[in-house]
Structure 1
Amino acid sequence: MYSCWVVLLIKLNIMKEQLLTTLENAKNYTLSVAAAMPRDAYDFKPADAIWTFNELLHHIGYGIYWWEENFIKQKESDWNPPAITAGKDETTAYLTGAFRALKESIGNIAPGDNGIKGFYATMDHITHHRGQATVYLRCKGITPPEYTY
């Protein structure tokens, strides 16, 4: 018969595996959306009053860092985005780094921890803006990558 600690460790590992799977899907789909926009169209925006595609993807990346810091690590920080990344390669690298940092933070989440709520809030923010990015693609006549879950 398993001790309470063994059962807790098994549940913790299952929870982290589920979080990591969710994160991997979000990362892969977000980077697929980023890859679908041609390099010379990263400055595209469907209307004057909104972000360019590049600015939108940079916002997703910074949002990952900010939500992770405030709601997963529980370290209060001001909203203070860095300068916008310049173009497809730099923006994709920034997004990749943000997803990598978030993956590392998941390793420190414990069952019942508020960091789990922070993780799902981060995923919600990514999904919200990634949905906008797919509309940008459609405005350029590009079919977005098929959504996978």
Structure 2
Amino acid sequence: MTKKINRQTALRALVGVGGTLPVLGQERSKKELKEFQEEFSVAWRRSLDYSLTIIGQMPEEHLDFHYTPEAMTFRGQFVHCIVFTAMQFAGRFDIPNPYDTKNDWQKLSKAQLIEEMKGFYAWVEKVVGELPADRLARHEGYAGGKIQAWRFFYAMENHIIHHRGQAICYLRLKGVTPEGYVGW
């Protein structure tokens, strides 16, 4: 008989603990949630810096580049990050989506895309900073399980990291050597 192992079970086995790992299931106090908001804001600003670095390296004439017809364009990678993340946050936290009615994304110049990214990152930072601790602590469905809402911010950042990584590959395919990584 083959037993399926999920991520949490595997991690427990690797570190030899029988209980829930703190990083996976720890309840956060109001103080810790405030610390999360501050920490996330710092990391989020660094993420903006790196996203702008990547966008800035692609020549304007290659914003519509994609390596196969079904792949997103370089511009589309970042537009998707904005639209998808805003939709997720707006729906999850029952807040207005500032990108709900925008539909001319594929016409953005490089300078306009950069400004949209700055506005988007500022909006997310405002959202995370204004949510009350009890809302951040609430458990809700995510990826077939439940997580506290504060963890959803990291899930969305991970999504952006994925698409930014795709954009880095696009740079290389266009002969651009990406600038170094910008970490926390």
TM-score normalized with structure 1 length: 0.81
Structure 2 residue aligned with 1:124: 158
Task: Find the aligned partners of 1:62 and 1:69 in 2 and give their Cα distance.
Answer: 10
Is contact 1:31-1:92 (8 Å) kept?
Answer: yes
Task: Find the aligned partners of 1:70 and 1:136 in 2 and give their Cα distance.
Answer: 31
Name the one with the larger strand percent.
2
Deviates more, 1:50-59 or 1:94-103: 50-59
1:60 alignment partner, one of 81, 85, 88: 81
5+ residue gaps in structure 2? 1-28, 139-147
Structure 2 residue aligned with 1:39: 60
Is contact 1:56-1:133 (8 Å) kept?
Answer: yes
Instruction: Report the CA distance shift for 1:76/1:10 in structure 2 as closer, same or farther (over 3 A).
Output: closer
Task: Find the aligned partners of 1:126 and 1:68 in 2 and give their Cα distance.
Answer: 14
Structure 1 residue aligned with 2:39: 18
| Percent identity (aligned) | 24
SS in 1 for 2:176: coil
Task: Find the aligned partners of 1:64 and 1:146 in 2 and give their Cα distance.
Answer: 25
Deviation at 1:119, TM superposition (A): 0.6
Q: Are 1:28 and 2:46 counterparts?
A: no
TM-score normalized with structure 2 length: 0.67
Q: Please list every run of at least 4 consecutive aligned residues from structure 1 whose deviation after the TM superposition is greater than 6 angstroms.
A: none
SS in 2 for 1:46: coil
Instruction: Report the CA distance shift for 1:51/1:11 in structure 2 as closer, same or farther (over 3 A).
Output: closer
Task: Find the aligned partners of 1:120 and 1:57 in 2 and give their Cα distance.
Answer: 17
5+ residue gaps in structure 1? 1-7
SS in 2 for 1:148: coil
Instruction: Report the CA distance shift for 1:132/1:81 in structure 2 as closer, same or farther (over 3 A).
Output: farther
